[in-house]
Amino acid sequence: MNFVYAVRSNFTRPELEEKWHAWYSGPKLAEMVTHPHFLSGQRYEAVGFDTTIRYLALWVVDSPDAFTSAEYKASWGWAEWKPYISHWSRNLYDADGRDMTTLLDVPAGGGLYLAAFEGVAEGEAERRRAEAQAALADPARATPLPTPLAAGVRETTFQPLTERRRAKPRR
């Protein structure tokens, strides 16, 4: 079973942003995949449609217990950067048995399209998701959703900032 842990944020200090990226894309990403239950992680930057939230990290974990481990709790590392992070949010999504590491592995030059059905009832969101998926015949060439589907939907396209980092097999 897989879960997707999505972390969204903006960074408010342009003069420190390069150092933040070096930390988050380097040692932080490498460390996180050593924690119990973390399978992979990759960072992205919003480049199209709604770019209100600029950065996205998608982690694949095999259990919500990933967030209760001693290793996870001891390694936040955000203290230095917290004053410069805005619009921070996170969610955990059940992948419903799908291998999300492969699905979310976006190569350099590739793109990731996300449609967030905010404030849309679950049944309606599922119907719209199916219609949107059909409307996007080629997901690599994202185009805005047709108007009837777009109400209550926030669309964003992302490009990868990093390669997908995978955990080493555990014994």
What does the pLDDT read at residue 130? 75
Number of domains into which the chain is organized: 1
Amino acid identity for residue 75 in this structure? S
Q: Does the residue 71 lie in any domain?
A: yes
Give the bridge partners for 158, in sequence order: 46, 112
Range of the domain at 122: 3-166
Q: Does the residue 125 lie in any domain?
A: yes
Q: Does the residue 23 lie in any domain?
A: yes
Q: How far apart are CA 39 and CA 20, in angstroms?
A: 23
Q: How far apart are CA 43 and CA 124, in angstroms?
A: 30
Q: How far apart are CA 153 and CA 144, in angstroms?
A: 10
Q: What is the CATH number of the domain that holds 77?
A: 3.30.70.100
Instruction: List Cβ neighbours of 109 (8 Å cut-off, separation of 6 or more).
Output: none
pTM, two decimals, is 0.84
pLDDT tens-digit profile of 105-145? 899 988 888 877 777 788 887 777 777 666 655 555 555 55
Q: Does the residue 171 lie in any domain?
A: no
pLDDT tens-digit profile of 61-95? 999 999 999 999 888 677 889 999 999 999 999 98
Q: Does the residue 21 lie in any domain?
A: yes
Instruction: List Cβ neighbours of 87 (8 Å cut-off, separation of 6 or more).
Output: 8, 9, 10, 52, 53
Neighbours of 115 (CB within 10 A): 21
- Does 166 have pLDDT greater than 90? yes
Q: How far apart are CA 15 and CA 90, in angstroms?
A: 25
Q: Does the residue 59 lie in any domain?
A: yes
